[in-house]
Amino acid sequence: MAKEFRFKERGRIELRLDTFNTFNHTQLDGINATLNVTSLTNTTPTNLASETGNRTGFGAVTSVRPPRNMHISARFQF
């Protein structure tokens, strides 16, 4: 959003507000996509993510993007 105010003949002030992730929804970023198996002939996964044990295994979310960010700026011209 931006609003411009004029004063006198040549003066101008512009106020600006920028937002990122405005509605503050969680955005998942890092997901572990590496699947380890027991051997070439036995394809049993060995690193599945679980609620009680391994929380960083295959398919687990490892990070999220930053929450809501707001930037405000003012610009003076004369």
In the prediction, which pLDDT does 1 show? 92
Structure tokens at 63: 């990070």
Whether 58 and 45 have beta carbons less than 8 Å apart is answered as: yes
**Secondary structure string (H, E, C) spanning 10-21:** CEEEEEEEEEEC
Give the domain extent around 45.
Answer: 2-77
Tell me the sheet residues that pair with 18: 71
Cα 62 from Cα 24, distance rounded (Å): 19
- Render each residue's pLDDT in the chain as its tens digit; 78 residues: 999 999 888 899 999 999 988 888 888 888 888 888 888 888 888 877 776 666 777 878 888 888 888 999 999 998
Instruction: Order across the sheet with 69-77: list the strands.
Output: 2-7, 11-20, 69-77
In the prediction, which pLDDT does 61 show? 81
Specify the number of domains making up the chain.
1
In the prediction, which pLDDT does 52 show? 64
